[in-house]
Structure 1
Amino acid sequence: MAVPRLAAGEGGRRHRLSVSRRAAAAGVAGAVRGGVRDGRGELRRRGAALCWADRRGRPVTPLWRTADFGYLRLHEGAAKPWPRYGRAALTSWPDRCDGPEFFVFFNNDPGGAVIDAGVMAAEAERRDRRISRVPRVRPRR
């Protein structure tokens, strides 16, 4: 699987590509067979971000920075009630997401981990990051 180079969209807007771990693994394996041995470098050359992901509040993907933006998909925290996120995860992820622009998405599951998005946004704002479209909630004490 080749990583496409995306041209400017309508009105000159730039398209961005984030590649999931599964797609990256398939693409990297295909690239190795095709003679490209550096999947991380290939993503960087194409300006594509590797989609970071977690399970139980810990990274399950390499935290490669391969583009001028980042994309994080939070799947499941380790706090109770399941699948919520605890204070440590909600304060450490904003430190990792220190690029000029980072898109962070919470899984919207039955346990309501998405509620933690407001807490994480507050942590990011304390680090002078610009936040958009987030519910306003107070951190659990």
Structure 2
Amino acid sequence: MSFDIPEDRRYLESHEWAHEDDGVVRVGITDFAQDELGDVVFVELPDEGETVSQEGEFGVVESIKAVSDLYAPVSGEVVGVNEALFDAPELVNDDPFGDGWMLEIDADDTAELEALLTAADYEDQIA
């Protein structure tokens, strides 16, 4: 099976993606992760203003098959939360790299992204 792995993002081994734009890092889970989870029924996310640490837990995604912790790709302050997911968690399945994004972090240091997997590295990991 072939999964969408956009080249313009970095990836955690735990299947989160990160896309940086002007120091703000948008975060979600990968196409592979949503496929493995099955139908997402609940997403727990931090509040705006909370701080997260790189590779620290920031929330939970629950599906009909499993409950998985979510990990932050960078350290910083949460400046945006996709509140649409509270009423429509299936957006994570339908569009994991678009409408299914989870949070936005004002990164303390965007250089942390360099430590994450490239699209090619991530593709090798899930192969």
Whether the TM-score (by the shorter chain) exceeds 0.5 is no
More relative contact order, 1 or 2 (CA 8 Å, 6+ apart): 2
* TM-score after normalising by structure 2: 0.27
Q: Which has the larger radius of gyration?
A: 1
In terms of fraction of residues, the more helix-rich structure is 1
In terms of fraction of residues, the more strand-rich structure is 2
* TM-score after normalising by structure 1: 0.25
